Amino acid sequence: MSKELRKHPRIDSLNLSYLCVDKDGTIIEQSMGRTLNVSESGICLETHFQIGTAYHLLLTIALEDDLIEVKGRVVFCRPGADDMFETGVEFTDMDDKAREVYKKYVEFFNEQQEQK
94, 43 in Cβ contact below 8 A? Answer: no
51, 77 in Cβ contact below 8 A? Answer: yes
User: What is 11-107's CATH topology?
Assistant: Thrombin, subunit H (2.40.10)
pLDDT of 4: 47
pLDDT of 7: 67
Strand (E) positions, 1-116?
Answer: 11-23, 26-38, 42-47, 56-63, 66-79, 85-94
Tell me the pTM: 0.86
pLDDT of 13: 86
Burial of 111 (C-beta count, 10 Å sphere; 0-12/13-18/19+): exposed
For the chain, residues with pLDDT lower than 70 are: 1-9, 113, 115-116
Q: Look at the chain and count its residues.
A: 116
pLDDT of 3: 46
